[in-house]
Amino acid sequence: MAKIISVEEAVAMIPDGATIMFGGFLGCGSAHHIIEALANSGKKDFTIIGNDCGMATGPNGEEFYGMAKLVHNHQVKHVIATHVGMTPDVATQSMVDKTLTVDLIPQGSLAEMIRAAGAGLGGVLTPTGVGTIVEDSPFCLGKQTIDGKDYLLMKPIHADVAVVNAHMIDKFGNMWYKGTTRNFNTVMATAADLVIAEADNLVEIGDIAPENVVTSGAFVNYIVDGGKL
């Protein structure tokens, strides 16, 4: 059974220099309370992995929405993502200040590379990126030809910590997502040494019907009750 902890306890478990996966798609399905506390912690030198880096401006006018807070605060040294266009600080820090390393990976490839790590696989073969700069990525192990078609062999991606979110999480850690908030949360919960899940609504065991469980509590180490913060 996952242990229920405070947001402060969650942040205390994440050290300087950690490699962290963050669920979410432009902040939709992100663990906003944990990210906010991490942004206020002063911790730094993170490698962050996600679909994106949040947004400079949130849907309700919030400044630095989602992971954008961490980038803006210069708490991140390396970004591994598929789209960073909504976070201008990424471009400034990587191309002007030269303080941030950015590796861009095609979205589907990134999802499968994370899934491969969770499944204990040695890599992913994908035709996406053949003949492009993706072949020069440090995550590309080379090209394979199978039945006359070229594929790139991409490394699995693993993290020290996965910070994920779900609309409903029961006290065992079983997770149910509302609409598109499942995005990267499902695969990330399988591919990290430590999984911290923020619940929009923390419910009792049995309140989520077994057939509606998307992520098993077996993958979740700790729960933060975001609904009471």
Both tokens assigned to 117: 């790590």
Closest CA to 114 of 53, 187, 49, 215: 187
In the predicted structure, residue 139 carries a pLDDT above the cut 90: yes
Average pLDDT, the chain: 97
Q: Where are the beta strands (DSSP E) in 6-75?
A: 19-22, 46-49, 55-57, 63-65
**Per-residue confidence (pLDDT) for residue 219, from 0 to 100:** 97
At residue 144, the 3 state secondary structure works out as strand
Each residue's pLDDT tens digit, 63-79: 999 999 999 999 999 99
Instruction: Return phi, psi of residue 39, to 5°.
Output: -65, -30
Instruction: Return phi, psi of residue 2, to 5°.
Output: -65, 150
Report the alpha-carbon distance of residue 5 to residue 43 in Å, rounded: 19
Report the alpha-carbon distance of residue 124 to residue 66 in Å, rounded: 29
